[in-house]
Structure 1
């Protein structure tokens, strides 16, 4: 039987995502299902660090878009959130 090793980079990214304060059980289950590529996981990590809501994160994960499209969607969500924060302050 042959052992397969997962690159340490991937574990580091997963560790960051799972130890984030903004995670929930369903998000962790989705991320650990193994359906996302490392590039997609990096985008989800960026989304978490940018303060996207659980609902926004779930929408991005469920969209199953490639990493480059996820990046654009995340940028748009960040801008929408900033715009909404400005409106609340007025």
Structure 2
């Protein structure tokens, strides 16, 4: 009984720590990915094109940034689940 309670406690600790680290990673990714795309496309000023109303650049930029953030979120979710499984095993 004590071991079960200890395992549940560890799973709570793992999920809280992983959640905080995951939140920090997603926030960092949402700040870094747009700058990375700006560096990878030096001939296109995405911010200026979006301000001019260029719909194609806006959709391209939004999809790339969204896909990057979604990818980081999936990795974070897998890490949290792995921590929970390891703690409850």
Q: TM-score range by the shorter chain?
A: 0.3 to 0.5
Q: TM-score, normalised by structure 2?
A: 0.38
Flag the structure with higher helix content.
2
Kindly name which structure, 1 or 2, has the bigger radius of gyration based on alpha carbons. 2
